[in-house]
Amino acid sequence: MALLKRLARQNLPPVAFSLNGVSCTGRAGDTVLTAVLTQTDRLRSSDFSGESRAGFCQMGACQDCWILTAEGDRIRACSTPLRPGMRLRTIAEPKS
């Protein structure tokens, strides 16, 4: 279930991307964080206890919102603009 709720910008041009292999649509001007968290409620698992995390500061400081691309790159979701065709994966790291 989506974490974020869109209140505005609903009619902007759609931007297609995929999340964990599923086709999704964001909006022009979305960050990756917005695009993902309007679809689901998590971005990654924490490094040690494996708790769900979904960002915190949204200004590039807390480093809580890292997510993977299908190519294996780590990107900071809150400061990365959504681009058409992005293939994103929420991070599910093994619990220690």
Binding site for another protein (CB under 8 A): 1, 3-12, 27-31, 34, 38, 41-42, 46-49, 51-64, 66, 73-74, 76, 78-79, 81
Among residues 53, 52, 63, 2, the alpha carbon closest in space to that of 30 is found at: 2
Q: State the nearest-atom distance from the C-beta of 18 to another protein, in Å.
A: 20
28 versus 87: smaller Cβ distance to another protein: 28
Residue nearer to another protein on the CB measure, 6 or 87: 6
Residues 90 and 57: their CA atoms lie apart, in Å, by 18
User: How many angstroms separate the CA atoms of 15 and 49, rounded?
Assistant: 34
